[in-house]
Structure 1
Amino acid sequence: MKKLLTRIDRYIIKKFLGTYIFAITLVISIAVVFDFTERMDRFMNNNAPWDAIIFDYYFNFVPYFANLFSALFVFIAVIFFTSKLAENSEIIAMLSTGMSFSRLMKPYMISAAIIALFTFVLGGYVIPKGSVARVEFEDQYYKKRKKSSARNIQLQVEEGLIAYIDRYSDYNKTGYRVILDKFEGKKLSSHLTARSITYDSTAVNMWTLKDYTVRDFDGLHEYISKGDSKDTVLAMDPSDFLEFQNQEQMMTNPELRAHIDKQKSRGFGNTKVFEIEYHKRIAMSFAAFILTIIGASLSSRKAKRGMGLHLGVGLALSFSYILFQTISGTFAVSGVVSPMVSMWIPNILYAFIAYYLYRKAPR
């Protein structure tokens, strides 16, 4: 019975993953130095403690940044070590033994699968937890991102119950000029207006209405009741309408999916930023396979000018992929295409490029 992995397979996987980790370590080290140099003045001016800078910010910044540019690191790793193999005539030696190029790609695909799984789990489940501490640190010591107020809030609290709040201030957890409309089918059964509504953070979904008036409708009859204060349970909380910049980065994949479904059911149509983030995480994981094929196909041929040409072409393609993915995200924001399609457009396009280069690779 043949071994699943030959010595050559293990050799290529070791080279691939080793170069990938080395590239990440090198680039991230440089990125941390530049990032700290840029932010140091504001950190010092806001009296950020060193333990918070190191553990809350940079311990969470490093995996976030590494995962964000994982596609670039995959490309660099494949181009670099495959060009070295080609320069040393190792690939020629492998192919001369009768090994096909498709068989040679097996350890590349195994390595790409390991990286794809790693980046998917890291980006979808691990990094969002760390991003909570990182974003909160930035909000306190660098630049405030969280919204403290919202206007013209309209949402479906539950089936048949629509809430409207003219203005909400988070500092006192109070909304002003409140309307609660209850429907039975298509008929309005109750109309409540209140001067203000205050969220009780000590209880779940507990709100207090001030200066309220309730109009209940029963056929042609109308019953009016008023009061100074009234406690009521409403299936909503301030986080439903106080979205802030990069909030999607702080949610795991299940949390993103639940948030999107919840906001859509409540009448919030603008969930594209969250949908883009959700589909981007999946698409970026599959990109490891596509970029590995492109990189291996480009650099497996021995070049007269050395690996410089391969590395230059590879970097150009990888940066163009990242740029194209950023641009395609704007298509979804503007409503031209759906978020899922916009995030998969770069993968589809570069899959054709990968297929073409694979067909042109040495046999």
Structure 2
Amino acid sequence: MKKIDLYILKRYLATFSVMLLLFIPIGIVIDVSEKINKILEAKVPFLAVAKYYLDFTIYFANLLFPIFLFLSVIWFTSKLANNTEIIAILSSGISFTRFLRPYIVGATLISIFALIMGFFLVPNASQGFNDFRYTYLKKNAEVRENSDVFKQIGDDEFIHVKSFNPVTKIGNDFTMEKFEKGVLKYKVQASRIKFNPKDSIYTLTNFTKRKVGDLDDTLIVNVPSKDTVFAFDLDDLTPVIYIAETLSITELDKFIEKERERGSSNINTYRVVKYKKYSIPVSAFILTIIAVSVSSMKRRGGMGINLALGIGLAFTFIFFDKIFGTMAEKSSFPPIIAVWIPNFTFGLLAIYLLRNAKR
């Protein structure tokens, strides 16, 4: 019996590994074809490109992990069914539940690996992946379009930056507003803001400050350069999703707590990223059970029918994940419910398919 378990477990892990090794190079080739001109124009050093594609590999593998796992299980289980190996195993008196044991062991190993990746490896890879894009690939116009940040940093203080480069620590079109009982007290503007890490001072270019008085205003206009200290952190100027993706689980917990105390409007985005770190590994078990239930039966159409059905289910899962994740980020929909709805829905589907497969 142990030989059968080891046989299935080896096929499970080997097929999943081969699936990764096949699709990741394809993803790299597609990415290279899209970015090669910008890389050559920017004269990016070879080591920087090599590190970027190492980070890209981890980032890409984590992003498409559920699809790779689902298709690999369907692939090798369909081959077992077509070779009548599953019929032989079940005919020997082994129950379908017992037949699932090596699959569950394989899903457990992959889930633990995915959990560790999500907690520690993926944030570092995401940091390098995004840093490379901001440093070498994104032009100023593209950064402005994608990095518009507006945040509440206190009960009555708001900041806005039209664009911010996390690598160079430079932002454009900076604004800070201070209110008191709903009335504007002063407004600070600058065409550029730069953070100096050595002394934690911000340098403002073309500085303008307007203090609103009861009868008249005080105006300081077009100071060429001004060094000052602000109470907000550098992360407050950084695009929301960029921060969430680049923090480890402990850092993300602390950051979410800080944003919650501030009453940040972006806190749901951070929570979605956090909850997905836990939900994705759990999906390995659900997708494994669905894949085995769908592909363990020998069909007239052969492996192609199982793969077509599997691809349809896999992309439906990804669709659910994206839709509810976006709902949580853009509305008041509870993030924890939004993140776990795909697993709950497909968990019910897994139970239904498993019962039919046992029959």
> 1:77-134 CA distances to partner (integer Å, 9 max, x unpaired)?
1111111111111111111111100011111011001111111111221111122122
- The answer (yes or no) to whether the contact 1:207–1:234 under 8 Å persists in 2 is no
Match for residue 246 of structure 2?
250
**Partner secondary structure for residue 361 of structure 1:** helix
- The answer (yes or no) to whether the contact 1:155–1:164 under 8 Å persists in 2 is yes
Give distance in 2, aligned partners of 1:152 and 1:69: 31
Q: CA deviation at 1:304?
A: 2.1
- The answer (yes or no) to whether the contact 1:150–1:242 under 8 Å persists in 2 is no
> 1:313-354 CA distances to partner (integer Å, 9 max, x unpaired)?
011101111112111112213325211111111111111111
Match for residue 260 of structure 2?
264
**Aligned counterpart in structure 2 of residue 46 of structure 1, from 42, 45, 53:** 42
Note the 1:281-320 alignment, pairs <5 A.
281-320=277-316
1:73 aligns with 2:97: no
Read off the aligned partner of 1:318 and give its amino acid letter.
A
**Aligned counterpart in structure 1 of residue 92 of structure 2, from 79, 92, 97:** 97
1:354 aligns with 2:350: yes
Give distance in 2, aligned partners of 1:210 and 1:345: 48
Read off the aligned partner of 2:320 and give its amino acid letter.
F
> 1:34-64 CA distances to partner (integer Å, 9 max, x unpaired)?
1111111111122222221112x10000111
Q: Which moved more, 1:203-212 or 1:163-172?
A: 203-212
Match for residue 329 of structure 2?
333
Give distance in 2, aligned partners of 1:195 and 1:354: 56
Distance 1:45 1:359, change over 3 A: same
Give distance in 2, aligned partners of 1:206 and 1:336: 34
Q: CA deviation at 1:247?
A: 3.0
Read off the aligned partner of 1:332 and give its amino acid letter.
A
Match for residue 236 of structure 2?
240
> 1:247-302 CA distances to partner (integer Å, 9 max, x unpaired)?
32111122222212211211212222221111122111111000000000111111
- The answer (yes or no) to whether the contact 1:155–1:268 under 8 Å persists in 2 is yes
Identity %: 33
> 1:3-39 CA distances to partner (integer Å, 9 max, x unpaired)?
xx81111111110000000001101111111111111
- The answer (yes or no) to whether the contact 1:146–1:244 under 8 Å persists in 2 is no
Give distance in 1, aligned partners of 2:31 and 2:150: 38
Note the 1:55-70 alignment, pairs <5 A.
55=51, 57-70=52-65
The TM-score normalised by the length of structure 1 is 0.80
**Would you tell me which structure has more helix in proportion to its own residues?**
2
- The answer (yes or no) to whether the contact 1:328–1:342 under 8 Å persists in 2 is yes
Distance 1:114 1:146, change over 3 A: farther
- The answer (yes or no) to whether the contact 1:146–1:245 under 8 Å persists in 2 is no
Give distance in 2, aligned partners of 1:63 and 1:322: 19
Give distance in 2, aligned partners of 1:87 and 1:168: 58
- The answer (yes or no) to whether the contact 2:289–2:354 under 8 Å persists in 1 is yes
- The answer (yes or no) to whether the contact 2:153–2:159 under 8 Å persists in 1 is no
Match for residue 222 of structure 1?
none
1:23 aligns with 2:47: no
**Partner secondary structure for residue 264 of structure 2:** coil
Distance 1:23 1:194, change over 3 A: closer
Match for residue 3 of structure 2?
7
**Aligned counterpart in structure 1 of residue 130 of structure 2, from 135, 139, 146:** 135
Q: Which moved more, 1:96-105 or 1:140-149?
A: 140-149
Q: CA deviation at 1:162?
A: 4.9
Distance 1:108 1:241, change over 3 A: same
Distance 1:169 1:86, change over 3 A: closer
Match for residue 202 of structure 1?
198
**Partner secondary structure for residue 153 of structure 2:** strand
- The answer (yes or no) to whether the contact 1:15–1:81 under 8 Å persists in 2 is yes
Distance 1:107 1:336, change over 3 A: same
Distance 1:212 1:36, change over 3 A: closer
Matched residue pairs, number? Answer: 335
Give distance in 1, aligned partners of 2:84 and 2:159: 71
Give distance in 2, aligned partners of 1:273 and 1:164: 19
Match for residue 82 of structure 2?
87
Give distance in 2, aligned partners of 1:168 and 1:203: 24
Distance 1:269 1:31, change over 3 A: same
Give distance in 2, aligned partners of 1:77 and 1:137: 32
In our comparison, the structure showing a higher alpha carbon Rg is 1
Match for residue 274 of structure 1?
270
- The answer (yes or no) to whether the contact 1:301–1:362 under 8 Å persists in 2 is no
